[in-house]
Amino acid sequence: MLPKPGTYALILLSRPEEDIQVGRLGRLQIKPGFYVYVGSAFGPGGIKARISHHMNISNHPRWHIDYLRAVTCLHGIWYTYDSVRREHQWAEIFAHSRKASTPLGGFGSSDCSCKSHLTYYYSHPSLKSFSRKIHTRYNDHETVHMNKIFGSAKTHEK
């Protein structure tokens, strides 16, 4: 990944069932399956810096996603170096996916009007399907790339 601005989605794997407190937002009931968190990285260091932050478990959670990362494994990352802020478009596509649900309203979206930037899937979401939907709706959208994470020491193992 490059230190360029863009939009990303963390694909997180959860195995245990448990409840977590997400800052002041509320409680989130974790179910086995996959959580997709959408964010953007238009500050210094771009995608590379933001993903580097998310690969580690935070001792002092700052963002909603930091609380969820403490109980999930980072399974993969989808990203684009598109110069247009696409996180709200991505969140909408994920939220309207047939196999998705919104586990906690307001997650990652306290600074926008999106219902949530977190989506839950029982089985792994399809990059091919997502790319088709995003490029159909936004024909000027740049390529969506994928990085798979395999047992990295920086992923959470419970």
Range of the domain at 75: 6-148
Secondary structure element (H or E) that encloses residue 52, with its range: helix 46-55
Question: In this predicted model, what pLDDT tens digit does every residue of 73-110 receive, in sequence order?
Answer: 999 999 999 999 999 999 999 999 989 999 988 898 87
Contact indicator for 43, 130 with CB cutoff of 8 Å? no
**For range 42-46, the mean pLDDT:** 96
Q: Is residue 155 part of a domain?
A: no
Q: Is residue 153 part of a domain?
A: no
Contact indicator for 118, 63 with CB cutoff of 8 Å? no
Q: Is residue 1 part of a domain?
A: no
Number of domains observed in the structure of the chain = 1
> Is this model's pTM higher than 0.75 or not?
yes
Residues with Cβ within 8 Å of 150's Cβ and at least 6 positions away in sequence, in order, are: none
More confident residue, 125 or 23: 125
